Amino acid sequence: MRRLLVAFKVLACLAVFSPAAAQGPTGIAIVEAPEAGSGVCFAGNPETGFSCARDKCIAESGLEPRDCLRVRWCYPSGWTADLFLQTADGFHFHRYICGSGSRAEMISLAKAVCSDPQKADYLECSFARAWDPDGNDVEVDEQLRAAR
């Protein structure tokens, strides 16, 4: 029994310190400066991700760090979508879906957001950006709601 315990500990250490484990799943950090810019970074922890995303937001917006707000951290990132939504009165915003297990699941969740009957005043609900679990930008041409 003691040998089994020692063997288990050795295997656990090897798994933790192996190169494959070091790469492992990543999270996604999303930062926005409303009406000015945003930043998105993939990282292994929130601190690193938000720091990177804030730097991108500052570079894009030209604003101060305090203007770039933490919006979302998701770990693991999975398939992630940035949805652009606009209401009939002109108000617009982004909604993020992350952690989806597949491209199809991400699209299905996005369609559910865009077809919510309580949000019937959306003039537009579309994919602004999307990423696969490896952090690569992906094109999504799916229509999320019927045109009005």
Q: Are 51 and 102 contacting, i.e. CB atoms less than 8 angstroms apart?
A: no
Task: Give the tens place of pLDDT for each residue, 9-18.
Answer: 434 443 333 3
Q: Calculate the CA 45 to chain-centre distance.
A: 13
**Domain map of the chain by residue range?**
25-77, 78-138
- Which residue is it, tokens 């798994």? 15
Model pTM? Answer: 0.78
- pLDDT of 144 reads 79
Give the span between the Cα atoms of 60 and 62, in whole angstroms.
6
Q: What is the DSSP string of 84-131?
A: EEEETTS-EEEEEEEEESSHHHHHHHHHHHHT-GGGTTEEEEEEEEEE
